[in-house]
Structures are given as C-alpha cells and as structure tokens.
C-alpha cells in the first residue's frame, strides 16, 4: 500500500492509518529568502539592432527569393508592411547582415536610398510618417551568407546529411540570425501578423516552410516557385525555409473527440529506405498532437498544418507549423511539437525568459514518455535531468546574459532545470487539474503572443482555487526561476511506540541566493508490512515533525517519486529522539487567549493534561486519546490559567493560558 496524504504545517498531525487518513488543506508557508538575485544587474542584449525599429509594428512580410541546395546564395526581395506607432517617424530601419547587399529599396513603390551601418540599414523617408499610418517597404537584395557548420548552425546553412548524403539549404534564425538571410526586424514582441514565403528553386527540389503550400508555380528555366502562406502570427525567428530533393509524405489526422482534421506534412529526403526507417515515428506524431492538444489545448495552428522538414542538424528547430528536424526520434518529435504551444504560440517575451520555450518543450518530452512509455521511463528522464542540474551547485533559469547564446540555450539550465522547475510546480500545486488548467489558461490568454516567467507566476496567482489555496507561487518562482541552488536535506528520526519523530535539517548549495527552500517534501515511511508516503511542508532550515505510525518502522525515504531537485546528505535513526524535549517541542496551543476552548495539538498519545487556576486548584483534566485535545474555557471566568502536559515517558511542559 502506498497512500499519499498531505500534511499541513504547524500543529496538526497526520495519522497514517489507511482509510482514516485525512486530506488536509495545503498550507504552504512563505519562507524568508535571502539574496534577491541577479536580475537587477543582468547584461541584456536588445533584441533589435536599433531603437527606431520599435517605432513601427510589422503587420505582414512577404519573402520572394531564389535559392538552391548547392549554396547559401540568395537573390530576391522582401516586402514588409508596417504601421507607424510613434509620431513623426523619419525612416524605416531594418536589420540585414553583410555580405548581403541591398540593391534597391522601395517605400510605397517609390525608390529610396539606404544607409548601411553594419547590420543596421536606414531608409530615410521623404516626409515623416504620422502615427497610425501604414507603409510598405520592399528590399531587393542578394548575397551569399557564410554557411553555418555542422557544429555551429545558425542563419542559413548549406550542408550535406551525413547519413543520407542529401545536400540541404536550410535556415535556423533563433535567436539573432534572421538578419543573416533576410531583411527583418528582430523583435520578439512584435509578432508578424501574417506572412507569405515564396521560394524559387530548381524543379528537382522542394521547399518546406511555414503555413500552407498554396501553389508550386513553374517559373521557366527548370525552376519552380513554392508559395507558402502563413496566416497565424509568427515571430521573426520562426520564419524558415528548408530546400532539398524531398519526398512529400503527407496525411490527414483527426483531433480526438472532434470532426476537425488537419494536414500532417513531412518533407523527408527522397531516398528509398527513408520511410522504412522513420514511418512509424512520423505516423505517431498524430498521437502526440492529440496528447498535447488534450493537455495544453487544441494545437494552435490547426487550420494550417504540422509537419517536419529534414535537414542535417543534430536536433530540431520548432519552426512554426513545420519543424526542421535532423532525425526522427520520438522524444525529439515531442520536444519540437511541444514548442508549437510553448515557443511558437506563446513565445518568450525576452531571451531572459527562454525557459518559457525550452523548459516547457523539455517537459513535453516527459509528458510524452509518461503517456506512451510509462511512468518509469518518464521518471528516469526526470532523474537524469535532475542529476544534470545538480552536477553544479548554481545556475539561474532567468538568463543573466542574453548576449551569450550559449548561456541562453544552456542545456543544464534552460532545458533541464527548466523542465525540473515545471515538474516541481506540478508537485507544489499537487493538483493536476489545476496544473493543466494553468497551462491551458496560459496558452489561451497569451495565444499568438509572448510571455515572461513573471507573467506565468502572476497567472498562477490569479487562477488560485480553493484546492491550491495558500500556495506561495511568488516564493516558488523566486526560488526556482530567479534564484539558484537546491536544498540538501538531512533527516534524523525515531519511533517510540506508535509515535514517530522526525527532524529535517536543510542547507542549500548557494546560500547567498536561497538560504533555505520552501517546498513540500514527500517522505516514504517503510515497514515490513507496507509503506506510506506523507507530504510535509519543509520551509525552515530545521524543522521537527511528529506523527503516528502504527507499524514498526524500518526507515524512511525522502522524495521517493523524484519530484524535486534536491540532494539527501544522510538519513539516520536517533534513538534518543522523541523521549523528552522533542515531543514537548511539538505541542502547541491555539487560540490563546481564548473564550470557547484552547486546542492543544501535537500531543504524544497517552499524554495527561491538567488545567489549574492561578491558585493551583485542578479545574479539569484528561488523558489524551489522539494528537489534539480541546480544553473547555467557556464556563471559566476570565483570567490566567495553567495547563500542565505530562507524557507517558515522564516528560512535562506547562502553558500559561488566558481566558478572555
């Protein structure tokens, strides 16, 4: 038997006795956390190259480019339609990285000159533009950007698949590399309302991209133009193209419990055996789409498609509606698919908040494993991540240096600690319907937009229900997202008769950041005839607990289901515990002063209570049968009284009681 009950802090006592176990309301007290973290002194790289880019709001872009799979060479034009958001805008500023060269720029059809300074291109208007007005800029350009390498893929790459030998030209713009291949505004918070991506390639090739393929138009000279249309808002770095001699492996899927269907479109290398190797995993994308739609809300881009385009990268990139994927592995498919909700539908509003993307996509892997491979496989995944997090003492999820791409995409922090933090959030709320409602609420409230860690915390607070009443989300998010370190627990315990005494001491790996964590901690108590798991809220450096366990206790295990990023220094039985002071320490009286009764809690079983007045006359006495006893006060006159508690072991403690 393994029964889980919630133990509330303070004076109450959990009695583990099978069917009589009571569910207590979650009482998670705030701890005093020292060391307000680094967020105040962070080095932040602006997401845009020039502040003037924020003076317009991009409504639409159209890429009309000629490309191939033999080089990164691009020729073509990009049209941007935008609305002026500040009065008197004097120029259109966009980003484009040399060696790309702007050949000509048209504003509303009229040719304009362009001033190039590094990656910033400024096109002065003839007359300033008023706030609210629209303009359309068309930039004709060409060039051969430096290709990414297998170990450093960014911007645009022309590489050969090591396994299948196909040459592929593909883009990967996250976080700052859209400007490597198209003239753009690299702003996370200004999502592009809709886009068309037209790419002309030799007719032996196909082009995968965002949204729906509208047409493949013959252009003469052995060329075809792939015309993709994305009508959902999209952030600059998710616009992508992938060009190779693909085979289109497409089918329709049906959403569970609905007649709605959706295209699942996969561009796999045109090799005879490729589907033999990958078909079952590609096909299982449907089950994953339904799983995540069930958990997070309907797949956000369901009126278009989902799918994959193969490219030689050592993982995947969650390009909106069509992930660019190096290889088909179910966990990787799950990660990139999870991103369609966390990253694509709701994008991190700043690179400091990358966990909004990567923590949840990594947790999607866990959810996939839990559903389709079983709890043991999911737990093994989580334990691996926890071990990776704890391979070093510190590391803050909230990114302190967004100029450093390795820091933004730190596997240990943004991915693994991110997934662990999401898992611990689920543990802390201890209520899956609340947890998944929070995720669904997040997806709905922030749909096609952006969000931060602080936004998520505030949403959790605002969605608080009676079931999770009292949870200090601000403390939780502070400790795990904005601060660093993890708790190290040491436990001493003893059993005296049916009374179990437990003292949990806590240190942390970075005490300057978090002196002690405030977390619910599961404790599995074991005996020869079965185990039970009890949840304690541990929110002090040192805490004593007392509960009744009727079986002879063999030992205990902390966090038996591996919810926490924590380490256990030692667990030992201390035969001296529970005899004297400790059990006395556990006793508490409330309210005091009282008018109806005083509740005395934390009593070792068999304790005797004697109430005397100030003159020493015995007014009332009782031998306690359970952990809590009510001492009647109603019939007493107001004044001071003395309560003496004597245990069977001979210890005693007195309390001054005040009758109002």
Give me the residues that bind Zn ion (CB under 5 A), please.
358, 361
258 or 411: CB nearest Zn ion:
411
User: What's the Cα-to-Cα distance from 64 to each of 96, 105, 113, 121, 138, rounded to whole Å?
Assistant: 16, 14, 21, 19, 10
Question: Which residue in the shown chain puts its C-beta closest to Zn ion?
Answer: 361
243 or 348: CB nearest Zn ion:
348
361 or 514: CB nearest Zn ion:
361
Find the shortest distance in angstroms from Cβ 307 to Zn ion. Answer: 17
Find the shortest distance in angstroms from Cβ 361 to Zn ion. Answer: 4
Find the shortest distance in angstroms from Cβ 130 to Zn ion. Answer: 41
Contact between 349 and 303 under an 8 Å Cβ cutoff? The reply is: no
Q: Are strands 639-646 and 652-659 parallel, antiparallel or unpaired?
A: antiparallel
- 151: exposed, middle or buried (Cβ count in 10 Å: 0-12, 13-18, 19+): exposed
Find the shortest distance in angstroms from Cβ 627 to Zn ion. Answer: 49
Contact between 362 and 386 under an 8 Å Cβ cutoff? The reply is: no
307 or 359: CB nearest Zn ion:
359
Contact between 314 and 251 under an 8 Å Cβ cutoff? The reply is: no
Find the shortest distance in angstroms from Cβ 631 to Zn ion. Answer: 59
d(CA 228, CA 305): 12
Find the shortest distance in angstroms from Cβ 415 to Zn ion. Answer: 7
227 or 358: CB nearest Zn ion:
358
Contact between 232 and 448 under an 8 Å Cβ cutoff? The reply is: yes
Calculate the CA 401 to chain-centre distance.
19
Calculate the CA 559 to chain-centre distance.
21
335 or 478: CB nearest Zn ion:
335
Find the shortest distance in angstroms from Cβ 197 to Zn ion. Answer: 22
Find the shortest distance in angstroms from Cβ 358 to Zn ion. Answer: 5
Give the phi and the psi of residue 525 in degrees, each rounded to 5: -100, 130
309 or 564: CB nearest Zn ion:
309
Q: 3-state class of 119 per DSSP? A: coil
Q: Are strands 155-160 and 588-590 parallel, antiparallel or unpaired?
A: unpaired
CB neighbour list of residue 606: distance below 8 Å, 6 or more residues apart = 623, 624, 647, 648
Contact between 103 and 112 under an 8 Å Cβ cutoff? The reply is: no
Find the shortest distance in angstroms from Cβ 164 to Zn ion. Answer: 23
Q: What is the dihedral of CA 294, 296, 297, 302, to 10 degrees?
A: -100
Give the phi and the psi of residue 6 in degrees, each rounded to 5: -100, 135
Q: What is the dihedral of CA 89, 95, 99, 103, to 10 degrees?
A: -40
C-alpha distance across the termini of the chain, in Å: 47
CB neighbour list of residue 63: distance below 8 Å, 6 or more residues apart = 76, 78, 182, 195, 196, 197, 198, 199, 239, 241
Q: 3-state class of 613 per DSSP? A: strand
Find the shortest distance in angstroms from Cβ 598 to Zn ion. Answer: 57
366 or 517: CB nearest Zn ion:
366
Find the shortest distance in angstroms from Cβ 443 to Zn ion. Answer: 17
CB neighbour list of residue 322: distance below 8 Å, 6 or more residues apart = 208, 209, 210, 240, 242, 265, 267, 305, 306, 307, 308, 309
196 or 358: CB nearest Zn ion:
358
15 or 361: CB nearest Zn ion:
361
323-325, strands of its sheet edge to edge: 246-254, 261-269, 305-310, 323-325, 316-317
358 or 539: CB nearest Zn ion:
358
71 or 404: CB nearest Zn ion:
404
d(CA 306, CA 251): 10
CB neighbour list of residue 486: distance below 8 Å, 6 or more residues apart = 389, 390, 393, 508, 509, 517, 564, 565, 566, 567
315 or 530: CB nearest Zn ion:
315
115-117, strands of its sheet edge to edge: 89-95, 120-129, 115-117
199 or 421: CB nearest Zn ion:
421
Long-range contacts, 212-216 (Cβ 8 Å, 24+): 212/263, 212/304, 212/305, 213/265
Find the shortest distance in angstroms from Cβ 171 to Zn ion. Answer: 16
Find the shortest distance in angstroms from Cβ 154 to Zn ion. Answer: 15
Find the shortest distance in angstroms from Cβ 395 to Zn ion. Answer: 18
Cis peptide before 337 (omega within 30 of 0): no
């Amino acid at each position: 038997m393994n029964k889980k009950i919630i133990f509330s802090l303070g004076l109450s006592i959990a009695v583990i006795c099978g069917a009589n176990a009571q569910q207590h309301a979650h009482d998670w007290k705030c701890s005093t956390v020292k060391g307000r973290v680094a967020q105040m002194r962070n080095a932040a790289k602006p997401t845009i190259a020039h502040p003037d880019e924020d003076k317009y709001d991009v409504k639409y872009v159209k890429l009309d480019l000629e490309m191939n799979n033999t080089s990164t060479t691009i020729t073509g034009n990009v049209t941007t339609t935008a609305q002026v958001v500040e009065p008197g805008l004097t120029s259109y500023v966009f980003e484009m990285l040399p060696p790309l060269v702007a050949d000509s720029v048209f504003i509303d059809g009229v040719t304009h000159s362009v001033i190039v300074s590094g990656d910033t291109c400024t096109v002065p208007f003839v007359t300033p533009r008023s706030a609210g007005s629209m303009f359309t800029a068309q930039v004709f350009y060409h060039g051969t950007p430096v290709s990414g390498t297998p170990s450093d893929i960014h911007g645009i790459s022309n590489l050969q698949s090591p396994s299948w030998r196909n040459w592929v030209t593909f883009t990967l713009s996250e976080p700052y590399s859209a400007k490597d291949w198209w003239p753009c505004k690299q702003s996370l918070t200004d999502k592009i309302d809709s886009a068309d991506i037209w790419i002309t390639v030799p007719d032996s090739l196909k082009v995968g991209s965002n949204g729906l393929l509208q047409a493949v138009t013959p252009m003469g000279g052995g060329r075809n133009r792939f015309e993709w249309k994305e009508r959902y808002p999209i952030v600059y770095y998710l616009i992508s193209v992938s060009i190779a001699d693909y085979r289109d492996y497409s089918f329709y899927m049906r959403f569970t419990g609905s007649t709605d269907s959706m295209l699942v479109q996969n561009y796999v290398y045109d090799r005879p055996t490729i589907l033999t190797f990958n078909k079952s995993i590609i096909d299982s994308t449907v089950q994953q789409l339904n799983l995540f739609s069930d958990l997070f809300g309907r797949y956000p881009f369901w009126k278009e498609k989902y799918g994959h385009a193969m490219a030689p990268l050592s993982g995947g990139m969650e390009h909106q509606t069509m992930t660019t994927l190096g290889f088909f592995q179910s966990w990787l498919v799950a990660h990139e698919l999870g991103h369609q909700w966390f990253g694509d539908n709701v994008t991190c509003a700043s690179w400091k908040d990358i966990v909004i993307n990567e923590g949840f996509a990594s947790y999607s892997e866990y959810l996939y494993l839990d559903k389709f491979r079983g709890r043991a496989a999911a737990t093994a995944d989580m334990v691996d991540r926890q071990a990776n997090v704890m391979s070093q003492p510190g590391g803050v999820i909230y990114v302190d240096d967004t100029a450093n791409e390795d820091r933004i995409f730190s596997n240990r922090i943004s991915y693994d600690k991110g997934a662990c933090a999401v898992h611990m959030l689920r543990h802390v709320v201890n209520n899956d319907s609340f947890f998944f409602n929070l995720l669904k609420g997040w997806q709905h409230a922030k749909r096609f937009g952006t969000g931060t860690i602080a936004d998520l915390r505030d949403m959790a607070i605002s969605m608080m229900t009676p079931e999770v009443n009292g949870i200090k989300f601000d403390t939780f998010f502070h400790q795990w997202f904005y601060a660093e370190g993890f708790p190290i627990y040491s436990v001493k315990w003893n059993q005296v008769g049916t009374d179990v005494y437990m003292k949990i001491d806590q240190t942390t790996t970075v005490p300057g950041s978090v002196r002690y964590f405030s977390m619910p901690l599961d404790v599995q108590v074991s005996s020869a005839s079965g185990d039970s798991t009890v949840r304690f809220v541990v929110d002090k450096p040192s805490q004593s607990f007392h509960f009744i366990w009727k079986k002879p206790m063999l030992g205990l295990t902390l966090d038996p289901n591996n919810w926490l990023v924590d380490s256990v220094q030692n667990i030992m039985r201390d035969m001296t515990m529970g005899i004297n002071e400790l059990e006395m320490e556990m006793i508490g009286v409330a309210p005091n002063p009282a008018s109806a009764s005083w509740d005395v809690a934390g009593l070792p079983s068999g304790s005797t209570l004697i109430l005397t007045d100030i003159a020493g006359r015995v007014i009332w006495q009782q031998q306690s049968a359970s952990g809590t006893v009510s001492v009647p006060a109603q019939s007493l006159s107001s004044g001071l009284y003395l309560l003496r508690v004597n245990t069977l072991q001979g210890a005693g403690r007195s309390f001054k009681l005040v009758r109002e």
